[in-house]
């Protein structure tokens, strides 16, 4: 489970490091990260945080 604080940390880290480094930082695989975000997105649709982070992740992979 990813806490909201971790999400914000991840967003900040993403802007400077990119997906590989962030996943290493949080000691989780990209697949695990996406699975957790997807589950949380279903619960917290109103937050829109999952979408924001996924967009950032997709950008960083280009």
Instruction: Find all residues with CB under 8 Å of 52, minimum gap 6, and list them.
Output: 11
User: Is pLDDT of 56 > 70?
Assistant: no
pLDDT score at 5: 75
Its pTM stands at: 0.31
Domain boundaries, the chain: 4-61
- The C-alpha atoms of residue 28 and residue 45 are separated, in whole angstroms, by 23
Q: What is the pLDDT of residue 4?
A: 73
Distance CA 28, CA 48 (A): 22
Q: What Rg, from alpha-carbon coordinates, does the chain have?
A: 11
What digits encode the pLDDT tens for the residues 5-55?
776 776 776 666 666 776 676 666 777 767 777 777 676 665 566 666 766
pLDDT at 29: 72
């Amino acid at each position: 489970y990813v806490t909201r604080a971790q999400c914000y940390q991840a967003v900040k880290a993403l802007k400077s490091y990119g997906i590989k480094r962030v996943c290493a930082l949080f000691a989780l695989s990209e697949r695990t990260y996406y699975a957790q975000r997807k589950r949380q997105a279903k619960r917290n649709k109103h937050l829109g945080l999952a979408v924001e982070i996924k967009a950032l992740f997709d950008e960083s992979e280009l």
